[in-house]
């Protein structure tokens, strides 16, 4: 029988090198992110023990601002003719509904997310 296989300088015959690219490779499989090289790369970016990564600390709560805004929300506003427009809070709520009725998708999504359209 004649072997019809043609070998170029860049291909090797099927022999011993077949195992190098097979799934039975000698390289050890590691879980995602558990490879020693990955661990080594991460280690230099970690903060020392006892030191926080947040230099500015936790976010400050703006309680005073919130309290002042709540007080202003209940104030009644007047138009140029001294006619009552309602409270600021009610004006904002009415504006959300008005915009949603006008087709503002963000306002419609907000109302749907809050369950106002159920």
Query: Hey, which residues does 87 pair with through a beta bridge?
Result: 76
What is the H or E stretch that residue 76 is in? strand 76-78
pTM for the whole structure: 0.46
Chain centre distance of CA 62: 24
Give the Cα separation of 95 and 113 in Å (integer). Answer: 17
Give the pLDDT confidence score for residue 31 in this predicted structure. 80
Q: Return phi, psi of residue 74, to 5°.
A: -90, -5
Give the Cα separation of 69 and 61 in Å (integer). Answer: 14
Higher-confidence position of 31 and 19: 31
Judged against a pLDDT cut of 60, whether residue 110 lies above it is answered with yes
Percent with pLDDT over 90 in the chain: 40
What is the H or E stretch that residue 18 is in? none
- In this prediction, residues 94-114 reach a mean pLDDT of 95
Q: Return phi, psi of residue 76, to 5°.
A: -85, 140
Higher-confidence position of 111 and 19: 111
Give the pLDDT confidence score for residue 17 in this predicted structure. 52
Q: What is the mean pLDDT of the chain?
A: 80
Higher-confidence position of 5 and 65: 65
């Amino acid at each position: 029988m004649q072997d019809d296989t043609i070998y170029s300088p860049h291909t090797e015959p099927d022999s011993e090198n077949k195992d190098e690219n097979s799934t039975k490779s000698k390289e050890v499989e590691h879980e995602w992110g558990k490879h020693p090289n990955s661990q080594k790369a991460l280690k230099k970016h970690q903060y020392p023990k006892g030191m926080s990564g947040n230099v500015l600390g936790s976010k400050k709560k703006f309680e005073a601002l919130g309290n002042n805004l709540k007080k202003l929300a209940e104030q009644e506003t007047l138009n140029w003719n001294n006619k009552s427009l309602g409270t600021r809070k009610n004006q904002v709520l009415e504006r959300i509904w008005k915009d949603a009725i006008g087709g503002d998708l963000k306002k419609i999504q907000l109302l749907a997310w809050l369950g106002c359209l159920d």
